Amino acid sequence: MISNYKHIIWDWNGTLFNDVEVCVSIVNSLLSKRNLLPLSLEKYKDIFTFPVKDYYVTAGFDFGKESFEVVGKEWMDEYERRKHECGLSNSALPLLEKISSMKIDQSILSAYSQHTLVEVVESCGLTKYFSHLVGLDNIYASSKVKLGKELMKKLELNNGEALLIGDTTHDFEVATEIGADCILVASGHQNRKNLQRCGVPIFDSIKELLGKI
């Protein structure tokens, strides 16, 4: 499956980087400060979406009372403080090593801000596996489509020559827009029920994906 591609484009948060439980903890602390009901992990994975502003609204935040930018910055400040509580997804390192041994290039395309993406990937000891680390120039996790198109152009890849591996329906949307194939893992920020709408292969985890190579 993976051997058919010239390049693997990885999502970071929730795919290679296991930060889901920390993200739920942070949003619940923000909800609690506003006397709003917390989210269970299952509820979070059911309502999470891009743009994240829509997910915040579903979670209960009222942007008629305060701005999305204020809430988003509060969330990100706490995430930056706690990001080192997170680790790599189970079997992420062996999978990256396996793909590298197959002489297939890899990159990361993330809704994480560029400078912090580079910092965290480096702190995890993974920089050597990637030819490109591509993140956003802001903290508000908007669309990755434009960056993805720029990456495909830089890599000189045609339709079907790249495979995007992610954990959300937005990753599928990005893959479709940039001309990449897509597979998804259900161990990240969205549940299998939501991912199934995309009609692409879904794996329960990175570990399961590794076992299929």
Residue ending a domain, among 85, 117, 140, is 85
Sheet containing 132-136: give its strands across: 132-136, 105-113, 7-10, 162-166, 181-185, 202-203
Same domain, 32 and 137: no
pLDDT of residue 143: 65
Mean pLDDT of 167-178: 96
Same domain, 93 and 14: yes
pLDDT of residue 141: 46
Q: Which amino acid is at 127?
A: T
- Digit-coded pLDDT (tens) for 17-76: 999 999 999 999 999 999 999 999 999 999 999 889 999 999 999 999 999 999 999 999
Same domain, 71 and 54: yes
Same domain, 8 and 98: yes
Tokens of 7: 């390049």
Same domain, 37 and 122: no
**Rg of the chain's alpha carbons, rounded to an integer?**
17
pLDDT of residue 142: 54
Under 8 Å between Cβ of 96 and 102:
no
Same domain, 206 and 107: yes
Least trusted range by pLDDT, from 58-62, 97-101, 139-143, 182-186: 139-143
Q: How many domains does the chain have?
A: 2
Same domain, 204 and 117: yes
First to last CA, the chain: 7
Higher-confidence residue of 20 and 141: namely 20
Mean pLDDT of 139-161: 84
Q: In terms of Cα–Cα distance, which of 41, 37, 75, 74 is closest to 59?
A: 37
pLDDT of residue 177: 96
Residue 7, helix vs strand vs coil: strand
Least trusted range by pLDDT, from 49-53, 62-66, 142-146, 150-154: 142-146
Under 8 Å between Cβ of 11 and 164:
yes
Same domain, 104 and 136: yes
Above 60 in pLDDT, residue 140?
A: no
- Digit-coded pLDDT (tens) for 79-138: 999 999 999 999 999 999 999 999 999 999 998 889 899 999 999 999 999 999 999 876
Instruction: Provide the residue range defining the domain that includes 55.
Output: 20-85
Residue 87 C-beta-side C-alpha neighbours within 13 Å: 4
Same domain, 203 and 102: yes
Residue 162, helix vs strand vs coil: strand
